[in-house]
Amino acid sequence: MSTITRNALQSSYPPKEHKDFNANQPKTIRLYPLSNYTFGTKENQPEEDPSVHARLERLREHYQEHGMRRTCEGILVCHEHNHPHILMLQIANAFFKLPGDYLKPEEDEIEGFKARLNERLAPVGSQFSGEGVNDEWQIGDTLAQWWRPNFETFMYPFIPAHATRPKECKKLYFIQLPASKVLSVPKNMKLLAVPLFELYDNTQRYGPQLSAIPHLLSRYNFEFMDESGNVVAITPGTGPKGSAPQTQVLTGGDQDTPATMNGDTQ
């Protein structure tokens, strides 16, 4: 009996047979365990702007010179206890952000996005070596587009009717993580692994963009892999029993300081 079948039959009552219900689904995504990845730190990357006002003023200057700003961020997914977790950054023990940033005016979208991911997450120098260090980012589907209609903090998942010239568009991409990879974050940031159930309907803590991620990922089916590369659970279904998933600080920041909970408003 296969591992997948065993997991589906853990209950003393076998599941009911049902008709196939996978029409027009996108491809099934393989998720690898958090333990497959190596995490480190690198030099600080201070924020460019000392205040929200300064950030919006820089946006205004960018718009006047180059037009709408293009921002790319990545949804990096792994699993712990067969439940999807999102890798995200926490800055100043307060604000949560996905890896990525705005593109330079002259940059190609995908190549520029890869450069931003490397700035945030790639190891530097000889800090690490071996398989998984220099693997190129696999940029997947665009899962969401958020629009900033004016020079203000609010962004929307649509262009308001009165806005004909949005000032910024932020695209969220699905990033397919390989079986293993080395990730390093600036020392002034934390890298967190946040379970989907923690994000769901939690706008007060994470803001509207991050709390919408479970909705964005619901279009996919997942295969959950173990450290040896075997499929141990699939969607739908459950895997082996274990500890309840929870947000984990992977590296960076002052890990002894409790996190305050404010969503990203950038």
Could you read off the pLDDT of 179-234 as tens digits, one per residue? 999 999 999 999 999 999 999 999 999 999 999 999 999 999 999 999 999 999 98
What are 212's two structure tokens? 């919408």
* pLDDT at residue 9 in the model: 45
Residue 8 has pLDDT above 60, yes or no: no
* pLDDT at residue 257 in the model: 47
* Alpha helix (H) residue ranges in 76-212: 109-121, 196-199, 203-211
On whether the CB atoms of residues 69 and 62 are closer than 8 A, the answer is yes
The pLDDT confidence band at residue 254, using thresholds 50, 70 and 90, is: low
The pLDDT confidence band at residue 93, using thresholds 50, 70 and 90, is: confident
On whether the CB atoms of residues 224 and 242 are closer than 8 A, the answer is no
Query: What is the three-class DSSP state of 232?
Result: strand
* pLDDT at residue 136 in the model: 83
* pLDDT at residue 1 in the model: 43
Q: Decide which of 236 and 116 is more confident.
A: 116
Chain centroid to CA 130: 24
Mean pLDDT of 110-134: 77
Residue 259 has pLDDT above 60, yes or no: no
Spell out the residues 6+ positions from residue 38 whose beta carbon is closer than 8 angstroms to its own.
Answer: 128, 132, 180, 181, 182, 183
What are 106's two structure tokens? 């002259």
- What span, in angstroms and rounded, lies between the C-alpha atoms of 251 and 215? 27
Report the percent of the chain where pLDDT is more than 70.
Answer: 83
* pLDDT at residue 260 in the model: 44
User: What is the 3-class SS of 105-172, one letter each residue?
Assistant: CCCCHHHHHHHHHHHHHCCCCCCCCCCCCCCCCCEEEEEEEEEECCCCCCCECCCCCCCCCCCEEEEE
Domain spanning 3-7+35-251: which superfamily?
A: Nucleoside Triphosphate Pyrophosphohydrolase (3.90.79.10)
* pLDDT at residue 238 in the model: 40
Residue 252 has pLDDT above 60, yes or no: yes
- What span, in angstroms and rounded, lies between the C-alpha atoms of 153 and 149? 10
